[in-house]
Amino acid sequence: MKHPTFKLRIAMISLLILLFIPIMQLSATQRFQTAVDEARQAQRDHFRQISDHQALVDDLQGEMALVLAQMQALDQEFIDFAQALVVTQDALAITEARIAVAEAELEQATYDRDRQFELFRISLRSSHEMGPVGLLEVLLRAESFADFLTLFESARLIAESDQAILTDLETIEQAIAYHVNTLHANRIQLEDLMIGQHIAQMELDNNRAEREAFFAALQEDQVRMTAFLAILEEENRVLLGAVRTAETALANEEERIRQEEIARAAAEAAARAAAERAARLQTLNAPTNPFQWPVPTHSNISSPFGNRPNPFSPQNTEFHTGIDINAPTGTRIVAAQDGIVYFAGWSGGFGLTIIIDHYGGYRTLYAHNSVNRVSAGDRVTRGQHIGDIGSTGQSTGPHLHFEIIRDGTRVNPSQYFG
């Protein structure tokens, strides 16, 4: 038979082990937390790399947009130059046509002037050949002085008219020649302008070709950087998965530790309760007489300890772990010995039940009660009224199911009574 101090020693050792468990668990939790921290830091570093690379991609796209705008501006400038060149070509064509017309007019004016000059020269020759006599003869043919004056004035006017016509023709010729020279100067200016416009167009073509080559290089960089960014994002998803896995493992570990702490707290409470019960049992004096009969007013044992037919299935045999004492409902049940109430409540098929710890590692059990009159932790004395007979739980009628348990083993109660 084990002594209560042995139970107390076992309870204290169990308590020390439970207190040591969190020290071992702490290192495991720290390992999980370290893994989570490292995974989170790796994911943060990788995310910063993605952000930096995304900034480069954004800058590249901005530069591409700028180059594209420059190319569009060059295209518009090229269109403007092309339109200006068309205008210049049209102006040059008009000038060429005007030059042709002016040169024809100059040629006609030169011809008219030369012809008039020839006529004027012939007239001068005739006048010279006629001389003063011939003129005098003409004037002498006048019939009157008025007629004379008229003939003389006509001759003078004819000479002046010829001279004026020649002068007008020379003026016209000079004006046309000036116009022709002006048109030629305009043509030279237009030709110079066309050369400048062609040069400007060539420069625009070269500039746009350079912009196109630069834009193509930027596009290649964009393709490479976008592909690399996709790789970084995929790696980031993997890192996020690793973070979630580590966090899940940490949460599982924390939950496991929490459950262990709950179990440890329960075990500590049980150990403390066991220690308290053992300590309280030590205060009990060793009994000087056997156990008292639990139903003082009734002694009929309807079912003894040992094998018996199952009351609810007679064709089957079961082992009866106590004795059944028949008595009417409400009959007093007393404590068989001094002790401390270990349990008082409902216990499955036993119904309302009381279990009492006694000196020397003994326990007694009282089941199917109609009323329990003590509570767990109460100290009771031999013969104290602790409950009333009933038929709660699985029972065929009012009676007390009584057991004696020694060091965890159920023994035959009958041997403990006189």
- In the chain the first and final C-alpha atoms are separated, in Å, by 21
Return the structure tokens found at 185. Answer: 């100067």
Q: Are residues 3 and 118 in the same domain?
A: yes
Q: Are residues 71 and 220 in the same domain?
A: yes
Cβ atoms within 10 Å of 362's Cβ, excluding its own: 21
Is 403 a domain residue? yes
So what's the pLDDT on residue 208?
86
How many domains does the chain fold into? 2
Q: Are residues 311 and 266 in the same domain?
A: no
- C-alpha count within 13 angstroms, C-beta hemisphere, residue 31: 7
Question: How long a stretch of residues is the chain?
Answer: 418
Q: Is 312 left (phi over 0), alpha (psi -120 to 50) or beta?
A: alpha
Return the structure tokens found at 196. Answer: 């400048």
Q: Are residues 308 and 254 in the same domain?
A: no
Q: Are residues 268 and 317 in the same domain?
A: no
From CA 365, how far away is CA 402, in angstroms rounded? 6
Q: Are residues 137 and 269 in the same domain?
A: yes
3-state secondary structure 211-229: HHHHHHHHHHHHHHHHHHH
Is 290 a domain residue? no
Averaged over successive runs of 10 residues, the pLDDT of the chain (418 residues) comes to 47 51 63 84 85 87 88 84 83 87 83 75 61 56 65 64 74 84 89 87 88 89 88 85 86 86 85 71 62 95 93 89 97 96 96 95 96 96 97 95 95 87
Q: Are residues 327 and 401 in the same domain?
A: yes
- CA 293 to chain centroid, in Å, comes to 78
Is 394 a domain residue? yes
Is 248 a domain residue? yes
Is 296 a domain residue? no
Query: Where a domain ends, among 283, 318, 345?
Result: 283
Cβ atoms within 10 Å of 217's Cβ, excluding its own: 11
Q: pTM for the complete prediction?
A: 0.41
Q: Is 247 exposed, middle or buried (0-12, 13-18, 19+ CB in 10 A)?
A: middle
Is 291 a domain residue? no
Is 278 a domain residue? yes
So what's the pLDDT on residue 329?
97
The pLDDT tens digits for 20-75 are 555 555 577 788 888 888 888 887 887 888 888 889 889 888 988 998 898 888 88
Return the structure tokens found at 218. Answer: 């930027």
Cβ atoms within 10 Å of 244's Cβ, excluding its own: 13
Helix (H, G, I), strand (E, B) or coil at 315: strand
Query: Where a domain ends, among 257, 283, 309?
Result: 283
From CA 96, how far away is CA 184, in angstroms rounded? 8
3-state secondary structure 322-337: CEEEECCCCCEEECCC
Please report the sign of the dihedral spanned by the C-alpha atoms of residue 270, residue 271, residue 272, residue 273: positive
Q: What is the dihedral of CA 165, 166, 168, 174, to 10 degrees?
A: 160
So what's the pLDDT on residue 32?
82
Q: Which amino acid appears at position 7 of this protein?
A: K
CATH code: domain of residue 375: 2.70.70.10
Q: Are residues 213 and 307 in the same domain?
A: no
Q: Are residues 123 and 269 in the same domain?
A: yes
- Domain coverage including residue 337: 301-416
Q: Are residues 341 and 375 in the same domain?
A: yes
Return the structure tokens found at 228. Answer: 């690399």
Long-range contacts of 305-312 (CB under 8 A, 24+ apart): 305/412, 305/413, 305/414, 306/412, 311/396, 312/394, 312/396
- The DSSP output letter for 396 is S
Q: Are residues 260 and 393 in the same domain?
A: no
Single out the residue of 75, 12, 43 nearest to residue 232, CA to CA: 43
Q: Cα separations (Å) of 226 from 67, 212, 256, 267? A: 19, 20, 44, 60
Who contacts 344 (Cβ-Cβ below 8 Å, separation ≥6)?
A: 353, 354, 355, 372, 374, 375, 376, 378
Is 288 a domain residue? no
Q: Are residues 213 and 326 in the same domain?
A: no
CATH code: domain of residue 113: 1.10.287.950
Longest Cα–Cα distance of the chain, Å, equals 211
Contact between 285 and 338 under an 8 Å Cβ cutoff? The reply is yes
Query: Where a domain ends, among 252, 283, 314?
Result: 283
Return the structure tokens found at 253. Answer: 């570990």
So what's the pLDDT on residue 180?
85
